């Protein structure tokens, strides 16, 4: 009888430890995806409004003429370089910049940006795309090329207000909700989904996957004139 209780106790201890190990493993997975998202978004968004030859193109209006809507992006007025997309959830952001005049830059897909006297203008779109299974992706398209996945493992993503040219604070904020692909909580309670709904204004239902919120803010230095 005593041996039976010992076996049950050891079994429960093993299962409990395994549950917590898998939960922590899921948090590590989310953390890795979150750090990658922060790095890529900061790297790309910081390019918005970059002028390859500011000595000649002294203003954003001179450097960036008006542009018709294309590639899922809205039309841009002269001098305008960053906007949210016009889809129902505004799940994407479009921005433009100039590649280096000597042709040494690449876009978000790793494709070379052609050399030009005053820099080649690049229109980039980064969007959150839900895949219907609860884990979507961040995808990027540029220079008219098909979109490719930058980061996976997201349950939701929101962009906050894009600053106008008149705003003193030229920064854009975003938040991402990362999720493991497997059910790893196994009864471990979490307030993440409630915190996300408060932050984003959404009404997502609780999940049995491990969730983690990642927030970032990028100062658009090229727009601070």
Give per-residue pLDDT as tens, 137-166: 999 999 999 999 998 888 899 998 888 777
pLDDT band at residue 186 under the 50/70/90 scheme: low
132: left (phi over 0), alpha (psi -120 to 50) or beta: left
How confident is the model over 81-112, as pLDDT tens digits?
A: 999 998 766 689 999 999 999 999 999 999 99
- How confident is the model over 3-28, as pLDDT tens digits? 655 555 555 554 455 555 555 555 66
List, as one string, the DSSP characters of 50-104. --S-TTTS-SHHHHS--B--BTTB--B-TT--EEE--STT--EEEEEEE--TTS-
pTM of the model: 0.83
């Amino acid at each position: 009888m005593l041996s039976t209780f010992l076996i049950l106790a050891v079994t429960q201890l093993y299962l409990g430890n395994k549950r917590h190990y898998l939960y922590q493993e899921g948090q590590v997975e989310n953390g890795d995806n979150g750090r990658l998202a922060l790095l890529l978004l900061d790297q790309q968004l910081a390019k918005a409004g970059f002028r390859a030859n500011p000595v000649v193109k002294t203003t954003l209006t001179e450097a960036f003429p008006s542009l018709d809507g294309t590639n899922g992006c809205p039309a841009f007025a002269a001098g305008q370089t960053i906007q949210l997309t016009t889809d129902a959830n505004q799940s994407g952001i479009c921005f433009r910049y100039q590649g280096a005049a000597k042709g040494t830059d690449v876009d978000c897909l790793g494709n070379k940006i052609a050399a030009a006297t005053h820099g080649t203008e690049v229109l980039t779109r980064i969007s959150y795309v839900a895949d219907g299974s609860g884990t979507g992706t961040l995808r990027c398209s540029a220079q008219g090329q098909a979109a490719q996945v930058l980061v996976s493992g997201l349950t939701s993503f929101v962009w906050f207000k894009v600053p106008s040219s008149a705003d003193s604070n030229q920064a854009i904020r975003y938040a991402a909700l990362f999720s493991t692909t497997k059910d790893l909580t196994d009864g471990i309670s979490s307030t993440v989904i409630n915190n996300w709904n408060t932050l984003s204004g959404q009404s997502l239902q609780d999940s049995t996957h491990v969730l983690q919120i990642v927030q970032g803010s990028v100062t658009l230095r090229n727009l601070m004139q």
